[in-house]
């Protein structure tokens, strides 16, 4: 109750100016934030080699620019010339565009996308036989060829005086962006179709929006209480203190902040990563306490279960996370969660379809970023375009349909979890590529289908659901804007996507040809880009039937998730949230943060037990201050790296 009332208060403040519509300048600023985030992130990661800025569902690159706007530029405008200051509604548009733009660079779209389409011709050697197995199935428009050293120069850098071969990239990039755009627009349509059900019927709390929206509201009057400054000072002070070690090697640091050791109980059991992540803790404070408890409880069960199974001879988990086979248990939970959610929303979705067909219902399309008719038919068209694109590229029609189906199910699953849980680091347990190959069996797939599946790493986005979580939160942001301005939020999102994608692609290629992409030291561009083809080559050489073990574990995960969902909604006293089971042991993005989730739960539990909802609301500014202080520390560290350590930066932000 405390959480809902707090968010309602934020919503009232941010939506108070009902007369303020979405302005053209707010859309323009959303585009600028998107462009700025892409330039900042690409330069930070590829050239400075500092913190990874796009791992989370609230990208640090976009957050830093948004905080600069809200806390510095906008108050300055309000002080010097109030008429130029942005209203709360306009700031919400900028925030929505920033979330979308921040999902584009590096471990978002362009790092995987450009690396994947460059890989098959650059990494082909007589030893790996890629030319024999893959090249006959790759259309001219799908990937650039290594003609006149085009790809050699991308990874190694251009000789002095040589121009960048932009023309070689034009057709492949435009072709791939047609697929990416279809996935993006389809995600926007899904976000609109599900917004009312998630926000009004199921009352998901969208915890990662709440601290930033509260900050936006407080910045109107700069009403930051003492607890805010205490939290800010602690977080900023710790990071600043640890920066002394940049200049004085061996200087004592505050431990477990930049890095944390794995604590292992016994050699068969996965360990616990003990880094104290202030970024995670500050967001988790605004999440539901039952969800936080379930996250660390089911992770503890995962550790115990995996240790026992490993001891009995089953390969259940590594020292960090579930094995490739046992990741299918949370995958089954993902699918069950999505289908349970769609079943719960069946009445709403039925009315949506009726509205799209022109029948009168109680739904009001003015509540959404686009009309339901547009969203329904837009989603159908996007699915058809995506399936047709994959078919034209070489997939069989059935496989293309199955792949797009699995992709959107997993997109919805990640978006649902982020909207409900508040974890900023969440990824799907198994990607759609591996799901379809294990389900159908590589022996039943043609060479052209497998080749195209190798290319789908281009839209992997580290399993984060590409743009779906960002646009889902954009739909929630539109919900707190005046009805007349919600179409403007959509404009900000779309233009941010277009501008951010163009700038990120051009700037990434420019940096590659200028400095050499191998010098990026970047996982998605230089290493992960070839892993999809290496894995598919193994499947070509050793075709296998459908994986019965993985499918069995998938069924177990779906059954347990269904039981937990039934118990949660049937018995109000049931303490375990099923999402905790769906995330148990899923991967590094969750396992690396579970200790911080436990700390956030413990602090929130004590606060609620001691002082109830009133004390919870009183301490909200403290955790907001921690978030802002942490972000300011990341910004200061980046400035220090740019000035004193270019090319040898310090990665202090991450899991």
Q: What is the pLDDT of residues 361-396, one digit of tens each?
A: 888 888 889 999 999 999 999 999 999 999 999 999
In 10 A of CB 371, how many CB atoms?
Answer: 16
Q: What pLDDT score does 341 carry? A: 94
Q: What band does 3 get if pLDDT is binned at 50, 70 and 90?
A: very low
Q: What pLDDT score does 20 carry? A: 55
CA–CA distance, 139 with 389 (Å, rounded to integer): 12
| Strand duo 262-263 + 272-273: pairing | antiparallel
Q: What is the pLDDT of residues 493-535, one digit of tens each?
A: 999 999 999 999 999 999 999 999 988 877 777 777 788 899 8
First to last CA, the chain: 29
Q: What pLDDT score does 584 carry? A: 86
The half-sphere exposure of 346 on its side-chain side, counting CA atoms within 13 A, is 4
Give the mean pLDDT of the chain: 91
Q: What pLDDT score does 18 carry? A: 37
Q: What pLDDT score does 258 carry? A: 86
Q: What is the pLDDT of residues 78-109, one digit of tens each?
A: 888 888 899 988 999 999 999 999 999 988 89
In 10 A of CB 277, how many CB atoms?
Answer: 26
Q: What is the pLDDT of residues 597-632, one digit of tens each?
A: 999 999 999 999 999 999 999 999 999 999 999 999
In 10 A of CB 450, how many CB atoms?
Answer: 24
Higher pLDDT: 527 or 218? It is 218
Q: What pLDDT score does 580 carry? A: 93
For residue 588, pLDDT over 80 is answered with no
Q: What band does 481 get if pLDDT is binned at 50, 70 and 90?
A: confident
For residue 51, pLDDT over 70 is answered with yes
Q: What is the pLDDT of residues 308-338, one digit of tens each?
A: 999 999 999 988 889 999 999 999 999 999 9
Helices 372-393 + 397-421 axis angle, to 10 = 130
Q: Which pTM was predicted? A: 0.94
Q: What are residue 317's phi and psi, to 5 degrees?
A: -165, 155
Q: What is the pLDDT of residues 264-281, one digit of tens each?
A: 888 899 999 999 999 999
């Amino acid at each position: 109750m405390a959480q809902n009332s707090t968010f309602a208060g934020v919503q009232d403040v941010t939506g108070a100016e009902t007369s303020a519509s979405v302005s053209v300048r707010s859309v323009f600023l959303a585009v600028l934030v998107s462009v700025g985030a892409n330039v900042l992130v690409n330069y930070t990661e590829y050239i400075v080699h500092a913190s990874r800025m796009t791992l989370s569902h609230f990208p640090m690159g976009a957050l830093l620019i948004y905080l600069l706007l809200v806390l510095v530029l906008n108050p300055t405008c309000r002080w010097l010339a109030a008429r130029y200051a942005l209203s709360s509604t306009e700031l919400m548009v900028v925030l929505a565009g920033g979330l979308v733009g921040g999902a584009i660079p590096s471990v978002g779209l362009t790092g995987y996308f450009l690396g994947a389409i460059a890989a098959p011709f650059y990494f082909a050697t007589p030893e790996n036989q890629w030319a024999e197995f893959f090249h006959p199935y790759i259309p001219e428009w799908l990937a650039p060829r290594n003609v006149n050293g085009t790809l050699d120069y991308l990874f190694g850098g251009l000789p002095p005086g040589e121009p960048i071969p932009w023309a070689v990239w034009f057709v492949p990039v435009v072709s791939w962006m047609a697929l990416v755009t279809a996935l993006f627009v389809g995600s926007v349509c899904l976000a609109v179709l599900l917004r009312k059900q998630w926000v009004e019927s199921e009352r998901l709390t969208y915890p990662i929006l709440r601290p930033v929206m509260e900050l936006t509201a407080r910045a109107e009057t700069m009403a930051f209480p003492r607890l805010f400054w205490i939290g800010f000072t602690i977080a900023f002070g710790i990071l600043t203190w640890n920066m002394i070690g940049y200049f004085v090697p061996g200087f004592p640091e505050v431990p477990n902040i930049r890095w944390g050791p794995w604590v292992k109980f016994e050699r068969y059991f996965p360990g616990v990563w003990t880094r104290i992540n202030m970024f995670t803790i500050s967001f988790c404070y605004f999440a539901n306490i039952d969800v936080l408890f379930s996250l660390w409880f089911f992770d503890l069960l995962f550790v115990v279960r995996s240790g026992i199974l490993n001891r009995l001879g089953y390969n259940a988990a590594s020292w960090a996370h579930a094995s490739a086979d046992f990741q299918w248990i949370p995958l089954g939970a993902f699918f069950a969660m999505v289908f349970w959610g769609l079943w719960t929303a069946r009445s709403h979705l039925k009315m949506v379809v009726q509205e799209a067909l022109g029948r009168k219902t109680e739904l009001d399309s003015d509540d959404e970023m686009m009309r339901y008719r547009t969203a329904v038919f837009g989603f159908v068209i996007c699915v058809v375009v995506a399936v047709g694109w994959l078919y034209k590229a070489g997939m069989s029609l059935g496989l293309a349909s199955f792949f797009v189906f699995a992709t959107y199910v997993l997109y919805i699953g990640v978006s649902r979890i982020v909207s409900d849980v508040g974890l900023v680091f969440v990824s799907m347990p198994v990607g759609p590529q591996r799901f379809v190959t294990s389900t159908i069996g590589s022996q039943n797939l043609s060479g052209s289908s497998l080749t195209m599946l190798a290319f789908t790493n281009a839209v992997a986005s580290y399993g984060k659901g590409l743009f779906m979580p960002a646009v889902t939160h954009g739909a929630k942001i539109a919900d707190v804007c005046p009805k007349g301005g919600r179409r403007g939020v959509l404009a900000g999102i779309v233009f941010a996507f277009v501008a951010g994608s163009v700038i990120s692609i051009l700037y990434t290629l420019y940096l590659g040809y200028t400095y050499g992409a191998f010098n990026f030291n970047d996982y998605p561009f230089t290493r992960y880009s070839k892993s999809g083809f290496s894995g598919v080559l193994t499947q070509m050489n050793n075709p296998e039937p459908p994986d019965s073990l993985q499918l069995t574990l998938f069924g177990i995960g779906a059954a347990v998730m269904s039981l937990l969902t039934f118990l949660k909604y049937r018995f109000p006293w049931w303490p375990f949230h099923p999402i905790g089971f769906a995330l148990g042991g899923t991967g590094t993005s969750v396992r690396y943060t579970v200790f911080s989730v436990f700390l956030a739960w413990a602090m929130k539990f004590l606060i609620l037990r001691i002082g109830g909802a009133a004390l919870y609301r009183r301490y909200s500014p403290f955790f907001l201050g921690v978030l802002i202080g942490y972000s300011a520390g990341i910004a200061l560290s980046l400035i220090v790296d740019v000035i004193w350590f270019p090319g040898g930066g310090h990665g202090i932000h991450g899991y």
